Amino acid sequence: MDTPGSGDCEARVEAWGQPVLLTTSAAYVIAGIVLVLWAQGRSDVRRWELWLYAGGLALTGLGSMDYHGPALGPEPLLHDSGLALALMVALGIDLRRLGARVRPVVGALVAAAVALIAIIAVVPAASPAFAGVAGLALVLAEVVIYRRGLRTVTPALFAALGCLLVGAVVFTLSRSGGPLCQPESWLQGHGLWHVLTAAALALWGVTALPVRATAGAPAIA
């Protein structure tokens, strides 16, 4: 198996792994903390959704920190499972906004998470495909939600999309062997990808966690 992070350009330092990528991975943990602080005092946010999503972001960061750092856990399982959990929690939030009941959604997502983790553990190369499927499902749910008017388009949504777009371009150009790849530099494109995607996930939370009091939206519970 390749050394964790070997395709992400930055050279590994024996004691620290990839120091820039290790440090910037903490952006996901910070994003979760920021969301919790943002929700303080708000009456339009379900606490269990907030904590599940913030927890998913924190696990994403911790898994990425291990992956780009000491790699003590099973990799890429630990790295990819954190992101998969965050995306599945986000999908569950969207399904709830579309009127799905809590128990069926939670049951389906838990079963899917267990199955995905088991498959990733056996076939690590399959994890990017699963992340893509989860991301696509989330995008489709978002489209339906906005078409039904269950959420209002806000500047936070456009900011999240902008972060994802810029992050994707930088991610592609800064891969190992890419035009922006400088293994010994303190400026790492993959590190910027960490920061931008963490910001996008936090901004998505700002748009998605408040529950609108409309006929089509479930009441706070």
Number of domains in the chain: 1
What does pLDDT average to over the chain?
87
* 170: in domain: yes
The more confidently predicted of residues 81 and 154 is 154
User: Quick check: 152 pLDDT over 70?
Assistant: yes
Residues 15-68: tens digit of each pLDDT: 789 999 999 999 999 999 999 999 998 999 999 899 999 999 999 999 999 999
* 109: in domain: yes
* 2: in domain: no
Smallest CA-to-CA distance from 52 within 77, 35, 30 is with: 35
Q: Which residue has the tokens 């620290």?
A: 16
Q: Which domain holds residue 136?
A: 19-208
User: Quick check: 155 pLDDT over 90?
Assistant: yes
* 7: in domain: no
Q: Which of 8-22, 95-109, 150-164, 199-213 has the lowest mean pLDDT?
A: 95-109
Q: Count CB-CB contacts under 10 A for residue 152.
A: 10
User: Quick check: 221 pLDDT over 80?
Assistant: no
* 67: in domain: yes
The model carries a pTM of 0.87
Q: Which residue has the tokens 């994802």?
A: 164
